[in-house]
Structures are given as C-alpha cells and as structure tokens.
Amino acid sequence: MSQSLAVNAASFELVHGEVEATIRQAEHSLEQFQENRESSEDLQNCVDFINQLRGIFVLVQLQGGVMLCQEAVSLANEVPVGATDDKNTLLTTLNNSLFVLRRYIEYFRNIGQDHPELLLPIINELRTARNVKEFPDSHFFELDLSRRFDCCVPFKTQHFLPGDDFDHHARRYRQMYQIALLGFIREKNLIVSFKVLARSMEGFSRLSGQTPLRQLWCLVHIVAEAMRETGMVMTNPRKKLFMKIERYTKEMVYLGRVATSKTAPDSIIRELVFLLALSGSRTEKTLFILNGYGKESLEFNDRRMIRHRKLLLGPGVDALQALSNAFQEELAQLKDKLDIIERGIDPDVSEFSNVVNIFKRLAGTLSMLELNQLADLVGTQVVLLNKWSESGATPTEEQLLGIADAVIAVEQASKIMVEAGLSKEVDDLAGAGSRASDDNLFLSEATKVVIEETHAGIALTKRAITAYIESNYDKANLSNVAETLNTISGSMKMISEERLAASIDKSSEAIHSELTESERKPDEKTLETLADVLTSLEYYIDSLSRKESHRGELLKLTEESLKSINYAV
C-alpha cells in the first residue's frame, strides 16, 4: 500500500465511528420521511446528514464517498415535501445509495484502498433517477488523447480491398457487425460474437484503406480480441458503446466511401482504450495500443471489479466472515466423522446420522444463500448417505471420493467467499472438484467427434484456398477441397444439421465453379466473399460445439453471402 493510501486509511479510522453514526441518522431520517411525507424536517435532516458525510469524505480524501454523497444530495433535493407514489423510485434509489455507501465504508476499512469506480453503477442510478446523463465507465480513467499514433500498425500486413465493390463489402461487414451486436444484446454466444465482430472490423479496415476511420476499425478489432481472450462480460454500458459504433458501419453502407474520411469522437476512443486496460490482456496488439497512450493494464481488472461490486450489494464482510467460520466449523466435524468411515471403523448409527444431518444443514444453508450448484452437489450426497444408512451398506471407495469432492468444494467456497461474496465464482466451485463431471453432458461423444472433424474440414479448406492464392492460383492446392466438403456435409446431415449441410454443399459448388474449373483468375469480390462464407461456417460450428442457441444469424449470413455471388442455397 502506498504511503498516501496508508495515511488516508489511518485518517479514516479516526472518523469511522462518526461516519457509521451519520449514515444511520441519514437512513433513519429517510425512513421517517417515507412514513410521513409531509415532514420537511426529516427530509432536510437526511440531506444535512449526507452533506455532513460528504464533508468528512473530502477531509479523508475518499473520492468514491464524496461523489456518491454529491449525487445522493442532488437526488434528495428533487424529492418534494408531500411526495406522492410517483416519487417512490427516487426514494428507493436514495435508500439503495445509503445501503451501498455503508457497504463501501466497510469495504474501504477492510481493503484500505479507495476504488470509486466500484460505485459507478449506483452513482449512475442516482443520476438516471433525476434524468441526468450517466457517467461513462471510463469516468475515472485518465487518458491523454493528444497522443496520436497509428493504431493499425499491428495489421501492417493487411492488403486493402479495391473500391469497385465497396457497397457489396460494406453491406456484408455491417451485417456481420449486427450479428455480433445481437449476440451482445442477448448476452448469448459471446465468444463467437467477439470473433464475428473482429472479422467485421478486419473487413472494414481493409475496405477503408489509408483513411481516418480505419483507426477506429483497427482499435475495435483489438478490443474485441482482448475481450474474447479474457472473457469480459457484456454490461449495458458496453452494449451502448458498441451500438454507437454501429452507426459508423451504417454510414459505410449509406454514405459510401465518403464515410471513411470521418474520425471517431474522443469519447468512444477513451472507452475502447479503457476496455483494453481493464481487460488484463497481455497480447502484443493490446500492449501496443496501451503503450501508445502511455498506459498500462489496470491492476483492478474486469473480473476483480465485477467481484468487488457484488460485495457492495451482498452481505457485509463481517457477515461473510462469520458465515465462512461457521462453514469451516461444520466441515471440520464432518471430516472427522468421514475419516472414521474411510478407515473402515464401524460407526454407530448415531454417528452416521450426524453425518447426514451435517450434510442436510450445509445443503439448506447453501440453498438459502442461492449457491444452488453447491447446494445440489451436497444434496446429492444426502440422498446417497440416506440410502447407505437405510441399507446398512458400507460406501465404496469411489463413493467416498464423491463425498470428499463435495466437502472440498464447500471448503474452498467458504475460504474465498469473504473476498468474492456470494457470487457465481463461488458457486462454480461445485464443478471444479467433482469427479462426476462429464464432457458428454450435452453432446454424445460421437457427435462431438463429428463436429470436431467438420471444424477441421472447414479450416483445411481455408488453408487450401490461401495456398491457392499465394501460389499464383495453382489449382493443385484445391484438389482435396471437394472431397473434404462433401464428407463434412454428410456428417452434418447425420446429426440433423441439414441447413448447415446445404450451405457447405453450395460453398463446395461455388469453389468448384469459380476456382477449380474456371479458366479465368477469380476476382477479389468472389475470393473475399468465399472467405467470409467459410469463416461464418467456422463460427457456426464453433457455436454448435458449445451447444449455444441463436446460431441462425450466422447461417443466414452464409446464405446471403453465397447468394451475393449467385450461389443461392
């Protein structure tokens, strides 16, 4: 911890008691006003107490607290004496802000660091409630936008597309962008959506040539790859950011080449660079952009920020610590009793009954905390234990290992819940140690093999076409393409993917007619469209292997791309 942070934390300890008392007074005054909305005194007291808190936070340099109190006072001033039910939203939001503020104070005392960005969601709720524009995610991210450099250097080997078919390519790349955006909005197929977005940006970049707008396409491309690599989630502010960028893809279609002379506003660039810094990605492309702006990856990355924001909304740290201790006490008893069973010592009926009861208590508590995966894992052991208890049979070694896995999962969860809260990350530990995990949960092994072979076949076809182009159109490189595509088409029919098989068949026909049999050199439009067709097929198969829904848009893109070069499916 830096000296300044240590001083702030030490200063805060001196006023902590006063802060806690003042928050309680503000909450009490607000409750009193909600019960009697004609009481101007209670409303004014609430405002005064929040202002008092703001003054304390200014003194101890707690930026997050200062901002939250400023916004809370502004909202409180919007609440009239005699407020009717239509003002309930304002009062609820104000109440929520005081709850989060209390949690943030507790958080600051435990962590010793001020992270005002954690409070942005509740700050923006306060602003939205009074119809004021929200702060962007990058509000606390300082960036020197006067530093200018070429964001497209990492793509220096890209060759530009000829301008003859600008409209054709622009429409297809915008359609790709819209498919990715739809995935973001639905929060489905995120990995595939990021891949489609990157492909769209690559296309727009090549289409734009050495123009100002190409800088935006290159930057978004790098951001998409970083977000996919690090598994960043799609929040509402991020959806809005990509919706803003979609307007520029629309202009590429409706304004044509003149749109490429535009530059993206600083606000969009700031948000994109912030996402890179937040991602935690260490790829060469990411570091190139961050270094260009004189920035480094943020230590407080996306995963950590999400986890810590959840801490502010759930039980307090003290409550989580008490819960963790209680779990570990129960588990210590359980492990002692299981050790007796494992060593083959005959436990009496009451001892076995105690084991069942402890598991039942754990399952019930986990269910109440909405850690449902862990609750189900422990509940499964309860069913098995009851069977053994009723039959008098001794569990096998494999069955005992299953019980041990459940105990280990709950033990790990109890150890990290103080920092991670009652989050999905904690609940996911149910699957981390389970020996019952089965890669065949969604797909039969045979189906998995078929999908993997299909994926490999598409990749092989793409490499063959690349070799064909690089060898100055030597058709020998295409000799196995028809057989490969015919095989994987048949495989897809076997697993009832007839629509996909039809697109593969039509792709094979297009490659055969335009590349293998044609005596003339293929034009850029045809080659580029075929590349997009194969990429879309690849992404569809990728989503198929993940058992993801809403894949139809990718097949539709494939079909429309084939239709654009006169090979309608």
Quick one: pLDDT at residue 383? 79
Please list the ranges in the chain whose pLDDT falls under 70.
1-9, 314-320, 340-352, 389-395, 418-427, 429-446, 546-551
Residue 79: phi and psi, rounded to 5, are -85, 120
- What is the CATH T-level fold of the domain 439-565, as seen in this structure? Four Helix Bundle (Hemerythrin (Met), subunit A) (1.20.120)
pLDDT at residue 228, as a whole number: 95
The pLDDT assigned to 419 comes to 65
Q: What stretch(es) of the chain map to CATH 1.20.120.160?
A: 315-432
pLDDT at 285: 96
Looking at residue 296, its amino acid is E
Tokens of 10: 């030490």
CA 261 to chain centre: 33
Classify 1-130 by CATH class.
Answer: mainly alpha
What pLDDT, on the 0 to 100 scale, is given for residue 525? Answer: 87
3-class SS of residue 57: helix
Q: Which amino acid is at 95?
A: N
User: What is the structure's pLDDT at 435?
Assistant: 42
Dihedral through CA 501, CA 504, CA 505, CA 509, nearest 10?
A: 170
What's the pLDDT score for residue 543?
A: 82
Torsion of CA 74, 79, 81, 86, to 10 degrees: 180
Q: Which CATH superfamily is domain 315-432 in?
A: HPT domain (1.20.120.160)
If DSSP codes are grouped into helix, strand and coil, which group holds residue 300?
A: coil
The reported pTM is 0.74
Residue 156, Cβ density class (10 Å: 0-12 exposed, 13-18 middle, ≥19 buried):
exposed
Interatomic CA distance for residues 172 and 217, integer angstroms: 15
What whole-number distance in Å separates Cα of residue 410 and Cα of residue 428?
11
